Structure 1
Amino acid sequence: MLLSGCVTVEAPDKPIVINLNINIKQEVVYRLDGEAKALIDEQGGIF
């Protein structure tokens, strides 16, 4: 016995809308020891 089927695909009446509400928050925290901070303060122009 052989069974066959039919599949139909139809486009929707209205357009498909995809809302992507993405918020990217990046927070960078750094700590410097006393010598490194003093060096940066003295040589700040190189950064």
Structure 2
Amino acid sequence: MATRSATVPTMGKWMAIGLAFSSGGCVNISAPDKPIEINLNINVTQEVVYRLDNDAKNLIQQQPGIF
């Protein structure tokens, strides 16, 4: 069963709004003046390491067309 990790921050936000209204405060929600900018620098490196058993290596050398 999949869990929803996004519900925890959402619940906190609603609890804060409910607390503001219950204490007689006013909540003002407005859009930001500038667009939100997200910069992601991602570097993915993969290294493949293989080792052949000595018998397998000899078999491949003796019969190169086996694969």
Do they fold alike, i.e. is TM over 0.5?
A: yes
Structure 1: 5+ residue stretches without partners: none
Give structure 1 regions of 4+ aligned residues with deviation exceeding 6 angstroms.
none
Matched residue count: 45
| Aligned equivalent of 1:18 | 38
Say which structure, 1 or 2, has more relative contact order (CA 8 Å, 6+ apart): 2
CA RMSD of aligned residues (A): 2.1
Query: Normalization by structure 2: what TM-score?
Result: 0.51
Structure 2: 5+ residue stretches without partners: 1-21
> Once the two structures are aligned, what percentage of the paired residues are identical?
62
Query: Normalization by structure 1: what TM-score?
Result: 0.65
